[in-house]
Chains A and B, each alone.
Chain A
Amino acid sequence: MNRSFTYRASLLFLAALAALWTLFPFAWYFLVSLTTPGHIPRRFSFPDVLTLDSYASALFGSGAKGVSANYSILPNIFNSFVVAGLTVVGCTVLGFGAAYVFSRGRSTTLNVLFNALLVIRMTPAVSLAVPIYLMINTYGLADTHIGLSLVHIMLSLPLAIWLLKGFIDGIPVELEEAALIDGASVLQVLRYIILPLAAPGVAVAACFVFLASYVEFMFASILSRGSSDTLPIAIAGYNSDHQTFYNEMAAASFMSMIPLFIFFYFAGRYMVRGLTMGAVK
C-alpha cells in the first residue's frame, strides 16, 4: 500500500477540506448565537462581544424589547416533547405486535403488507396534506398536541415496524416455542419473552420515532395556529417579514440540537439501519 508522505499529506488535506465544509457553517453561526443585536460582525472578523444573553433571551423571552425577541421558546420545547412523546407511545403500542407477526410469520399477504409500509414511508407527505388538514380540522384537533401526534404516528409507523421487526428477528425462536409448549399464551410470550429481550431495540426505535416527530416541519406548520407550535416552527418563526432575530434564532437552533446529541450518543450505531428502514444493517 502506498503510504508515502505525499499520499498521507493529501489525505490530510482532503480531510481538512471536508471538515471545513461540514463544520465552518456551524462555527460562524455559533459565534452569532454568542453575540447580541448590533454586535453581529458586518465583515469577516471575530465578534467584539461574546455573551450567553441570546440563549437567555430565546429561552425566557427576556430580550430588550424591540431589539431582541420578546419571545420564549419554552412552550415550544414543551410542545415538541409532548407531541414526540405521544408519537413514540402510539408507534410502539401499534407497531410492536405487528413487528412480531412480521418477524415470525411467512406468507404472501405479510410480504405485500410489509412492502406497503415502504410505499407509505416514501409517499410525499405533502400529497396527504390537504385531506389530513381537513380531517384534523373536522374533528376539532387543529392546534392540539393530539392532532399533530396522530399525523406523526402515521408518518413514523412504517419505520417503527421495520426497525422493531429487525430487532425481533435477532431473538431466537426456540425460547418462544419452549414457552408455548409449556402452555404460555401468545400475549404472555410477547410480554415476558419478546418485550424484555427486544427492549434495547424498542428503545432504539423509540429514539428514531421521537426524532422524526421532533424535526418534522410541514404538518407542524399546517396544523398549528400558534399554541401548539413545535420547536422547528418557532425557530423558523424568528425570521419574519418585519424583523429577523438572528441572535435568538441561532441560540434556539443550537439548543434544539441537544436531543439529537443524546440520540447519537445512545443510538448512533443504529443510524444506518434506521435511515435505510432496515434494508442495510
Chain B
Amino acid sequence: MSHMASPAARTDRLGQYLLGALLALPFLYIAVFYAYPIYKVVSLSLRDFQIAYGIDDWIGLGNYTELLSSAETWRTLGRTLLYTAICVGVSFGLGLGMALLTVSLADAFSERFGRVFRHIAIAPMIFIPAAAGVMWAFAYTEHYGWVNHILIALGFQAYPWMVSDAAFFLVMVTDIWGWTPFIYLILLAALQSLPQEPIEAARVDGANAWQVFRHVTFPLLKPVIVIALTIKTLDTYRAFDYLWIMTNGGPGTSSTTLNLATYKTAFQNLDFGKASALAVITMIFPLTVMILFLAFRRRQAQ
C-alpha cells in the first residue's frame, strides 16, 4: 500500500488495508470487464470462430494474414485515418477560431455578449449523437432535406447525397458540427485563464494581433492544445455513432472505418475470429498515441 499523505493514517494498519480494498474494488471490476475482454479478444483473434456455423478452430495468425493481405483492410485503415485527420483538423481550426472570436466579442462589445455567443457555439452539444446523426441524415434526404431545398432554390437539381460517395464526407460534417464545441470549450477556458501581462506587453511593444497570437498566445496555449488534440484524436478515431447511424458504412464500404468494419464483421457476418483480429488492429493506433502522450506528460512534469 502507498504512503499516505497523512501521518495518522500511516499508523492505522486496519485503515491501510481498508484503503487498499477501496482501491482494489474498481480495479477488480476493470479486470473482469476490461482486462479479461482484452485478453479474450487477442485469443479469439487467433481462432476461426464463427458461432453460426459451429466453427471454432485455432488458426494462429491466419486471420491477420488474411486481413493484412486484403486491399480492403488497408483502404479501411486509410479511411479511418482520413476521417480522423479531417475531423480533428477542421474541428480544431473552427474551435480555435470561435474561441478567439468569443474573446474578441467580449472585448469589443461586452462580457455578456461573449457569454451569449458561448451558449450559441456549444449548442450542438445538447443533442445526443444518435439524434444529431438522424438530424443530419435527414438534412440530406432527396425530397425533404434542406440541403437539396437550397440547391433547388438556387436553380440546381436535387442530389441523393447519402447514397453517393459524398456520404463519407457528409458524416465528417456532422462529426465536425457535433464535436467542435469540445475543442472550443477547452481552448476558450484556456484563453480566458491566460496571464494578461505578456499579451499587454507585446501590444505595448507594437506587435499586431497576428504577432501577439503567434508569438505569445499560441505558445502559452500549447500544453492545453496537446491535451485537447490527443483526446479529440482518439475520440474521433473511436467514433461510431454518426457513421453507423448515417451510412451504416455505405454505400458499399465507402464509409466503413476500422470501427465499423469490426462491428459489421462481428455482428452482421458473425465472424467473431476475424472481427477480433480487426479489433486488435484497431487498438494499435490509440495505444501508440497513448504511450506517446504519457511520455510527453512525464517529460513535461520533470
**Interfacial residues, chain A to chain B (CB-CB below 8 A):** 1-3, 7-8, 11, 14-15, 18-19, 21-23, 25-26, 28-29, 32, 40-44, 94-95, 97-98, 100-102, 104-107, 109-110, 113, 115-116, 118-120, 122-135, 150-151, 153-154, 157, 161, 173, 176-177, 180-181, 185-187, 214-215, 217-218, 222, 231-233, 235-236, 238-239, 246, 249-250, 252-254, 256-257, 260-261, 264, 271-272, 275-277, 279-280
Contacts and interface: CB of A to CB of B under 8 A. Distances in A.
B2 A272 contact: no
Contacts of A173: 5-6
B266 A276 contact: no
B134 A238 contact: yes
B259 A126 contact: yes
B36 interface: yes
B130 to A, nearest CB: 3
A181 B8 contact: yes
A42 B153 CA distance: 11
B105 A276 contact: no
Contacts of A28: 139, 146
A249 B133 CA distance: 11
23 contacts: A22-B123, A22-B124, A23-B120, A41-B144, A43-B152, A94-B26, A97-B22, A97-B25, A98-B22, A98-B23, A100-B22, A104-B4, A120-B34, A127-B41, A127-B279, A128-B41, A130-B272, A135-B37, A154-B29, A218-B241, A233-B130, A239-B137, A260-B125
B161 interface: no
B267 A236 contact: no
Contact of A276 (B41, B139, B186): B186
Contacts of A44: 146, 149-150, 152-153
A40 B29 contact: no
A257 B263 CA distance: 27
Interface of B: 2-9, 12, 14-15, 18-23, 25-27, 29-30, 33-34, 36-38, 40-41, 44, 98, 101, 104-105, 107-109, 117, 120-131, 133-139, 143-144, 146, 149-150, 152-153, 177, 181-182, 185-186, 189-190, 203, 209, 224, 227-228, 231, 234, 237-238, 240-241, 244-245, 258-259, 262-263, 266-267, 272, 275-276, 279-280, 282-283, 286-287, 289-290, 294
Nearest to A230: B130
A37 B34 CA distance: 45
Contacts of A272: 185-186, 189
Contacts, number: 301
A280 B182 CA distance: 12
B280 A232 contact: no
Given A43-B149, A43-B153, A235-B131, A186 B101 contact: no
A260 B41 CA distance: 34
Contact of B29 (A105, A106, A157, A187): A157
| 4 residue pairs, one from A and one from B, having the closest CB atoms | A97-B22, A232-B130, A180-B8, A253-B131
B275 A130 contact: yes
Contacts of B40: 130-131, 134-135
A215 B259 contact: no
Contacts of B134: 235-236, 238-239, 249, 253
B172 to A, nearest CB: 14
B262 A129 contact: yes
Contacts of A113: 23, 27
B19 A127 contact: no
Given A131-B36, A276-B227, A18 B101 contact: yes
A135 B44 CA distance: 13
Contacts of A118: 290, 294
Contacts of A122: 231, 234, 238, 286, 289-290
A279 B23 CA distance: 21
Contact of B105 (A15, A94, A110, A181): A15
